[in-house]
Homo-oligomer: A and B are copies of this chain.
Amino acid sequence: MEEYLSERIDKLRKKLCEKNIKGFLIFKDENIFYLTGFYSKDSGSILTVTDKEIYLLVHFIYYEQAKKTVSISNLNIIQFIADRTKELASIFENFSYKIIAAEGNNTSYENFTKISKAIKKQGKKLKNLSGIVEELRTVKNESEILKIQNCCSITDKAVQKFLEMDIAKLKNYTEIELSHYIENEMVKMNSTGRSFDFVVANDASSSLPHYDASHKKIDGGVLLIDVGCKYENYCSDITRTVFLDENGYLKKNGSSSINPKNIIKMKEIYDIVLQAQLKAMESCKAGIASKELDGIARNYIEQKGYGKNFGHGLGHGIGLEVHETPKISFSDDTVLEENMVITIEPGIYLEGIGGVRIEDMVIVKKNGCINLYRSPKLFTVIN
């Protein structure tokens, strides 16, 4: 562990040095974990990296945990109870440089201003320097990839458990119960739990890309699940859309509780989304720009007449956070590098009818990408 961490701190210091920064404040819990091994969600901790020292400022309630989990030498753990800004300022009392940089994207305006005022008394200035640790995190090392692979393998198996259910079993669940069933399967396989609040959206609700699972019993129609778990602090994310055909409409062309026109429409958009997703998967490799990759799926969906119904980016980086740098989007210039891990997830959403999204996670490689999932994505009808 410690070896990676020292390497990361060195890389960070190199980047800071290039910008002539000798003191840097890090607020994001995942960034602190990435550099020290200490992780606690919403802990209010601050990591200070200067050209010579490293200080981790933690609240009383995280002190024992910090002592146990920090895996880097030469790090000073400082405990605070009430006023962390005061403790922070005291670190810089004998610091000879006049500029201190801070993650302005990861702390509130109010907190940034508060720290700014506190160090102003020492004749120092706080400067915004955002995204520098997030950028380091985009390319994963071997150990991270192994954890992500395990995380995705758990997720894959849980999704397959879901895909093996028949409609009679599914109809026993509400959306929320199905969501918890899938999470429990992940926990049984050594995940620590969900990496975000699952989308389990049945029927017309599937047209809301971030729909929360409800207490509605699952019934015929579209069923979109967007799920993922955590494994050793790393996240997974996958979406599958299936069709529940209670009365065998699709098979027998008979009567159904689902509007037949809607089924035909959904089948049409499913095929478009799948083709768009496969085209993007084929083009994904080191050297392609994020916006270019997004464009491959987007142009195809636009050609088919559904451009306006695909109103989100193609995907996102994933690792310690379920959404992290880079965005895979028409407005992002990042050039993909080997061992970045991203999602590819086009979707088409028809208000009042339903939506389709298909999402995989891939490791970017020199000549292509590796899909981290095996869950089938052909048009699936569950009877």
Within 8 A of B (CB), among A71-116: 81-83, 102, 104-113
Checking B40, B60, B107, B212 against A108 with a beta-carbon cut-off of 8 angstroms, the contacting residue is B107
Q: Is A228 an interface residue (CB 8 A)?
A: no
Report B-chain residues with C-beta under 8 Å of the C-beta of A265.
none
One of A6-14, A186-194, A371-379 at the interface: A186-194
With A108-B109, A211-B65 in contact, is A180–B193 under 8 Å at CB? yes
Report B-chain residues with C-beta under 8 Å of the C-beta of A180.
180, 183-184, 187, 193
Q: Output the residue of A105, A130, A192 with the most chain B CB within 10 A.
A: A192
Inter-chain contact B110/A130, CB cutoff 8 Å: yes
Q: Is A121 an interface residue (CB 8 A)?
A: no
Inter-chain contact B311/A210, CB cutoff 8 Å: no
A71 to chain B, nearest CB (A): 17
Report B-chain residues with C-beta under 8 Å of the C-beta of A277.
none
Inter-chain contact A82/B331, CB cutoff 8 Å: yes
Report B-chain residues with C-beta under 8 Å of the C-beta of A330.
82
Inter-chain contact B210/A65, CB cutoff 8 Å: yes
Inter-chain contact B197/A176, CB cutoff 8 Å: no
Inter-chain contact A212/B187, CB cutoff 8 Å: no
Inter-chain contact A190/B211, CB cutoff 8 Å: no
Report B-chain residues with C-beta under 8 Å of the C-beta of A61.
208-210, 311-312
A196 to chain B, nearest CB (A): 9
Count of residues in A whose CB is under 8 Å from the partner chain: 53
* Nearest B residue to A207, CB-CB: B64
A184 to chain B, nearest CB (A): 6
Checking B83, B110, B331 against A128 with a beta-carbon cut-off of 8 angstroms, the contacting residue is B110
A100 to chain B, nearest CB (A): 14
Report B-chain residues with C-beta under 8 Å of the C-beta of A213.
192
* Nearest B residue to A211, CB-CB: B65
| A187 CA to B210 CA, complexed, in Å | 20
* Nearest B residue to A67, CB-CB: B351
Within 8 A of B (CB), among A326-383: 329-331, 349, 351
* Nearest B residue to A209, CB-CB: B61
| A105 CA to B107 CA, complexed, in Å | 9
Inter-chain contact B184/A60, CB cutoff 8 Å: no
Q: Is A134 an interface residue (CB 8 A)?
A: no
Q: Is A41 an interface residue (CB 8 A)?
A: yes
Report B-chain residues with C-beta under 8 Å of the C-beta of A109.
102, 104-105, 107-109, 111-113, 128
Inter-chain contact B187/A176, CB cutoff 8 Å: yes
| A213 CA to B184 CA, complexed, in Å | 14
| A82 CA to B351 CA, complexed, in Å | 20
For this complex, 12 residue pairs linking A to B, each with C-beta atoms less than 8 Å apart, are: A61-B209, A62-B210, A65-B208, A104-B108, A104-B113, A105-B110, A106-B108, A109-B112, A109-B113, A113-B128, A177-B188, A193-B197
Q: Give chain A's interface residues, CB within 8 Å of chain B.
A: 40-41, 43, 59-65, 81-83, 102, 104-113, 128, 130, 176-177, 179-180, 183-184, 187-188, 190, 192-193, 197, 207-213, 215, 311-312, 329-331, 349, 351
By Cβ-Cβ distance, the 6 closest A-B pairs, closest first, are A60-B311, A109-B112, A104-B109, A61-B209, A105-B110, A104-B110
